[in-house]
Structure 1
């Protein structure tokens, strides 16, 4: 199949021009916030937003802390470089992951995570489970994860020219000391923000009091943000960030396996060696925040790298991506249309050699409309064309369409039906950078091709007074997934995976507090069998998980709360995955005499349970793998001064 890039650009121009002309001819007026974009509707469709308030309550020091209280999103444990995010048991490398709208490439080694992230300035996270809109970007086979960080204007009152936050936290069980300093200002349309985080700690102990080697925190994170907004609302923003994990990590046979507690083989004992993981990102964004008429553009260009050095091998993944889009106002909603691209690569840098490159050009359109007072819809399409260059002169190109649609129907004053479908072209996938042609085994590409997914979700929500109850059935099926971690160098080997199950939630929100119970059952299969705990770049057998979150304001300046996670026994694996229960509690206090000061006490794993997160690697490989157990009871004190 051949493809003319100029033809796609002309088609994009024609589409935007035609839509603009239609918008001008009909003189539409936007009627207000769309119900299909409302939090309740999106939550039932699997599009959960973790808000700024949620993040503040959870006081995250790791990505795992960000998703505490969420049953559908699980995170493996250990040091920062080891943590992987799973959505309904599907690994994040099969989702579209963005930070402030900027596309992120996946990690470079299977015993480390994909997107190294420090949550110090995190504002919100949007999670799309299986049903990603066309404007979420390419490759959203199992949905999307969209992280948003704070700008200076999020931290300052209008007219306030300068401010800052200083945070210190420390505690026992290897926590060590974590500190963050952020300074920010605004003046005459100009904004700036500087932030630095440093954490140093020792190896922690699990619930049995055993030290888990190679888990000590050694994290550094730096962020610079600049922006200028004109009087007419034209905004140009630049951000640069770098996150590093440089701690000593557990290795066997010369390879760091930060996701394992160790191996049972006496021939490969655990040794502690220096590890390295880095994510660097640079993003330039233009938006019109006060558009006149039909022209409301957004343009973004970003470059990021994910690098790891894991002893015997190292590698780097890079991504250059860009998006140009416009949101058109219709009489009953909006239509977003645009063009996006990426140029990505995976390169081995030590211990072996070789590289792969992957390019994509996409055209998309997404409409969101209130058809009546009771029926709202979201629907869209995109077309992507990709080029792939492998090692040993292996070249491929192909393209495909993606379609999605969702409906929100008000049945009664309290009961609403939601349903959605998505068919997504995933395309090619880069291999693991650190292991390209490893041990002299040349990678081959016989049968190499493009992946595709089909996803469906249907559910009901009931809301009356302070109560909200919802439940939804879901299924995400991904076919022809290329071997990112090839056995014997066979990159053309393909696999099919499906995650199906149920999401449910019961919540009570009062004037001074809330309590929310989430439950997810995800049955994850790979080639018609229950997926294993070492199916890297694919998923994990998470089974059934319940998550509880609550908070209550005893006084205006004194709050108590906590989260709990209960994982039920999963007998679909061999051996069975054991159940566990873990409870975290906290209290915050704002002294009336010291404006801007917040004191917080966290007690994590209150009952000192010995457990490994259900999404951790190798839990069903007890004959060869020692699971990476989570920290036992840990007390943590945090002081934050805002000035």
Structure 2
């Protein structure tokens, strides 16, 4: 399907929206500039978006977002791609705690419990100067729940108990969350989840080795109102994953990709403080964080442990001067990786250290009530001491400029340019003993252009944008040496149409992101940590409230095929696929606080490999057995939730 047909479909949908705009009584809200960022697409997801389909991992979280793709078939192996760019080139944080670095390029770096999340904010492409250092492809910010998310006004204590079952892997999941007010000014929430699952069955009826898992998630957050104008939040999260895994968990098991015991443990601590004395000049926010991730694998070389530690701070202030709102501050991050042979003390441990310091200033200027200008810049300074005793440094300025025009009450146009600099950081911990950095390694630099429009009328809403991101001097591994291998380009469009009428809602979206390296399409085998080729993605979702207590819905995600993709081994294929889901949510009126959910994922039991994982190389000589892990087949999920 060509671009002109896609744009024609959008135009027809918009015309239909205009004709039908006043047929319903439940209107969408008037357009306004939400938040501050206008130079890149900004997406806000809330927990209601994923609770309906009983989200269990990253793929479930982002299943309805056409711009986001998650592949790997297994939580510990999943990687996120935003417009074709891998998450290692994104700024990813949990409550402001940056999750940087990687254990092994075959293993995803995020294992999250959706039950703990209140909101996810996604920004595609480098944004404004406040986004943080090195956000070449954008950012994803996960925000966890507070006690207030469970407590109703006037309540002092509340709880949530949940039990769930998944048929595709005979999985059982239990969660208990408690929240309460310790005093008038202090509240606390604590949560624990336990997941036990057996081998996952794909759409061909084959149980995939290396997919059984035992997972546990613990979380606590203390929120205090120190004074009328001061708030502090202390949060801690711990996630563990144990099981027999393929040495490269995102690939299927083969004679040369055997199964071994693997354990990952991630702990994240954060302190967030805000001082807002109702002053136009002072609104101070401080975030301190520490994140520690460990991976143990007892593979053919013996028992090894990889470590990643991140710690840092973000201090910023906001001031309003007339029609200007200024946000400025400093951020700092220190990153360490290590590799240790736990059973052989004669093998010396390897390690690397890196740090980045940034200062930023961003101006949001309301030129007129309908015209806003964003202009800002940040300066970042990078330094890394690698495992070969080589010190690499880089620094530079990343400017941005954007314009938002509220042409009418219902129509907004926006566009702009933004950039980001990323110097060399640490190497994947499990290859520290066998990799090196090129002496002349240059910093990567991203340039992002975007033009978009938002339109709302009555029950209809249409969002559309065109984007292009160029990453100069992209860094990747060639012959075990990290070096600048050329320029990455991803460009395309994203369109979403939504409609709401009383108890019915519908949304349809399409995303096309063409990711190329030096003009050639990218692939997940050769270009790990950079990006991959994704087929045009279509997402459709319908929901209908049958009554005040009964909600049902259907969703579909279709990805067009990509063929004859060039790789270092030969041409590979990525067949297209369409996956359907249905759900029913019932809240019995006679049992206050009880919610029963029935979800069927992959309704038609489709066998497929997500384009966000490695394609099947099995037809190529010397690559027999190399293929990404297939996705799960039909999955009947049952869940009971009781909020008390």
TM-score scaled by length of structure 1: 0.89
The secondary structure found in structure 2 opposite 1:114 is coil
Which residue, 414, 428, 441 being the options, matches 1:448?
441
Equivalent position SS for 2:52: helix
Paired position in structure 1 for 2:361? 365
Which of residues 91, 100, 118 in structure 2 aligns to 1:96? 91
2:574 aligned residue: 577
Hey, which of these two has a bigger chunk of strand by percent? Answer: 2
Change (3 A) 1:238 1:433: same
For the 8 Å contact 1:116–1:278, the answer to whether it is kept is no
Shift of 1:400: 0.5
Report the counterpart of residue 459 of structure 1 in structure 2: 452
Q: CA deviation at 1:387?
A: 1.4
Query: Per the alignment, in what secondary structure is the counterpart of residue 153 of structure 1?
Result: helix
SS in 2 for 1:139: coil
1:336–1:114 Cα change, 3 Å: same
1:18-97 mapped onto 2 (5 Å cutoff): 35-37=32-34, 45-97=40-92
Q: Cα distance 1:292–1:460, how it changes in 2: closer, same or farther (>3 A)?
A: closer
Q: What CA distance in whole angstroms lies between the structure 1 residues aligned with 2:32 and 2:478?
A: 48
Unaligned runs of 5+ in 1: 1-32, 251-255
Residue 214 of structure 1 aligns with which residue? Answer: 210
Give the equivalent residue in structure 2 for 1:356.
Answer: 352
CA distance in 2, matches of 1:330, 1:68: 42
The list of structure 1 runs, each at least 4 consecutive aligned residues, that deviate by more than 6 angstroms after superposition, is: none
Q: CA deviation at 1:34?
A: 11
Once the two structures are superposed, what CA deviation does each residue of 1:243-279 show, in whole Å capped at 9, x if it has no partner? 11111112xxxxx11101134xx5x2x5332111221
Tell me, yes or no, if the aligned pair for 2:54 and 2:637 is still in contact at 8 Å.
Answer: no
User: In structure 1, how many angstroms separate the alpha carbons of the residues matched to 2:150 and 2:276?
Assistant: 19
Equivalent residue number for residue 7 of structure 1: none
Q: Flag the 1:413–1:284 CA change in 2: closer, same or farther, 3 A.
A: closer
- Is 1:603 matched up with 2:609? no
Match of 2:636?
635
1:178-257 superposed matches below 5 A: 178-186=173-181, 187-250=183-246, 256-257=247-248
1:24 paired residue number: none
Out of 461-470 and 472-481, give the one that drifted further. Answer: 461-470
Write out per-residue CA displacement over residues 419-459 of structure 1, whole angstroms, 9 at most, x where no aligned residue: 12112111223211111123xxx624322221111011112
Partner of 1:296: 283
Residue pairs, 1:39-438, within 5 angstroms = 45-186=40-181, 187-250=183-246, 256-263=247-254, 266=255, 268=256, 270-289=257-276, 291-310=278-297, 311=299, 312=301, 313-332=304-323, 334-350=325-341, 353-438=349-434
Q: Counterpart of 1:542?
A: 534
1:204 CA drift (Å): 1.4
Q: Give 1:592's aligned residue.
A: 589
Q: Describe the shift of the 1:183–1:480 C-alpha distance in structure 2 as closer, same or farther (beyond 3 A).
A: same
CA shift for structure 1 position 324: 0.9
Q: Partners of 1:635 and 1:518 in 2: how far apart?
A: 26
Q: How many residues align?
A: 595
SS of equivalent residue, structure 1 residue 380: strand
For 1:155 and 1:365, locate their aligned partners in 2 and report how far apart those are by CA, in whole Å. Answer: 36
- Residues 195, 157 of structure 1: alpha-carbon distance in 2 compared, 3 angstrom cutoff: same
Residues 417, 317 of structure 1: CA spacing in aligned structure 2 closer, same or farther, 3 A cutoff? same
Rounded to whole Å, the distance in 2 between the matches of 1:416 and 1:113 is 37
> Closer, same or farther in 2 for the Cα pair 1:85/1:396, shift >3 Å?
same
The whole-number CA distance in structure 2 between the counterparts of 1:52 and 1:510 is: 22
8 Å CA contact 2:316, 2:330 repeated in 1: yes
What is the CA–CA distance in structure 2 between the aligned matches of 1:378 and 1:594, rounded to whole Å?
51
Distance (whole Å) between structure 2 residues aligned to residue 619 and residue 322 of structure 1? 43
1:567 aligns with 2:559: yes
Mean Cα deviation higher: 309-318 or 87-96: 309-318
Gaps of 5+ in 2: 1-29, 566-570
CA 1:37/1:335 → structure 2, altered by over 3 Å: closer, same or farther? farther
